[in-house]
Amino acid sequence: MLNTKLSLITKNIALAMIVLSTQLPLAGPARAVESGAGLVPQNFAGEDLDRKHRIALVQQQSTKIVGGLTPGAREAADLMGIMPQVERLIALRQSRTSQDPLNMSDEELNLKVFLLDRIVGQSLEVRMVSDRIDRELAWAYTGKGMLEARRQRNLNFLFSANFLQGGILGTIAGPEFLHGDSRAGSELLLLASAIGLGLSTMSFVEARSGSKKMDGEVTVLADIFGLKQTSDPQHRPDVVIKYMTSVPPLSVNNQTRRDALIASWKRGHYLRSTEERQLSKVAAIQLPGERNRENIGDLGNRIRMLYDVQWSVEQLDADLLELLRATN
């Protein structure tokens, strides 16, 4: 009797967890597909694909659900290594004659609890990676804002100095012309022009300069590029990295998510080359014996790349939501 009561209590608790998980608004980003121009939202993917790719996409979407799982949910299960448990749970559910949750077998209930724990845990890992990118974006924005403020301050000094010297030397040259000493007046005006030319040249140089020492921690871009890091990270999101290095189920060109991002960055001139030194600078890795500096352009490129990586990583949340709905 005691074992029967404990089994019923455990089953009721698990059922409550499962029902609660299905009712929570686990908001995930819109599903995305990959086109020749990179990753684009699914609702607008057809606008960027040619007719052949659109037909292929429609054919793939017409067979979207296979065995109760969407392609995204199946990919998420494969990445986490829980596909056998998912298939077993679906088979047990289909073989059950009654749809009453109280009639579930202990095996089915245990599988539901196990999968719920794994899916929710992986979703939290995705949020953790997204939060890490938010912190890295804050560092990049702070450094970029500091450099832009310093540059604007120096430009204001140069503009003010140019205005003052032109006014002062012009005021001094005026009386020289009035008193008939045109040579002295002309020399003063030539001096003012030369100083103005020098200050204007300095302004052009200052507008394109400004750098600072590379600070902060290594960004998530190091994991995306597969670079060797100077120190081991405290936590390595292996599933997220495998997700980024895998081909999306609805891909039309068999490019991995990482390759699609790198190709789009090259087209947009955010990534000049894929040499290790350049990638290390983008990912904020200080190589031994080097003291890299970063300018406004470097920080702007890093911000764009981090946003793209964050958007791609968060697509895994949508796949996990589909998997959660399919197993509950």
| pLDDT confidence bin for 234, thresholds 50/70/90 | low
Classify residue 129 as left (phi > 0), alpha (psi -120 to 50) or beta: alpha
Mean pLDDT across 77-85:
93
Convert the pLDDT of each residue in 238-287 to its tens digit: 899 999 999 998 888 889 999 999 999 999 999 988 888 888 888 888 77
> Does the pTM of the predicted model rise above 0.75?
no
Tokens linked to 229: 């890091």
Neighbouring C-alpha atoms within 13 Å toward the C-beta of 126? 28
C-alpha 136, offset from chain centre: 10
Between 39-43, 226-230, 259-263, 316-320, the lowest mean confidence (pLDDT) is in: 39-43
Q: Is 74 in contact with 89 (CB distance < 8 Å)?
A: no
Q: Is 116 in contact with 328 (CB distance < 8 Å)?
A: yes
pLDDT value for 178: 82
Q: What does the chain come to in residues?
A: 328
The answer on pLDDT for 102 being more than 50 is yes
Instruction: Say how many C-beta atoms besides its own lie within 10 A of residue 293's C-beta.
Output: 10
In the three-class reduction of DSSP (H, G, I as helix; E, B as strand; rest coil), residue 39 is classed as strand
Please name the helix (run of DSSP H) or strand (run of DSSP E) that holds residue 93, with its range, or none: helix 83-95
Between 34-48, 170-184, 213-227, 266-280, the lowest mean confidence (pLDDT) is in: 34-48
Q: Is 57 in contact with 45 (CB distance < 8 Å)?
A: yes
Q: Is 128 in contact with 287 (CB distance < 8 Å)?
A: no
In the three-class reduction of DSSP (H, G, I as helix; E, B as strand; rest coil), residue 294 is classed as strand
The answer on pLDDT for 302 being more than 90 is yes
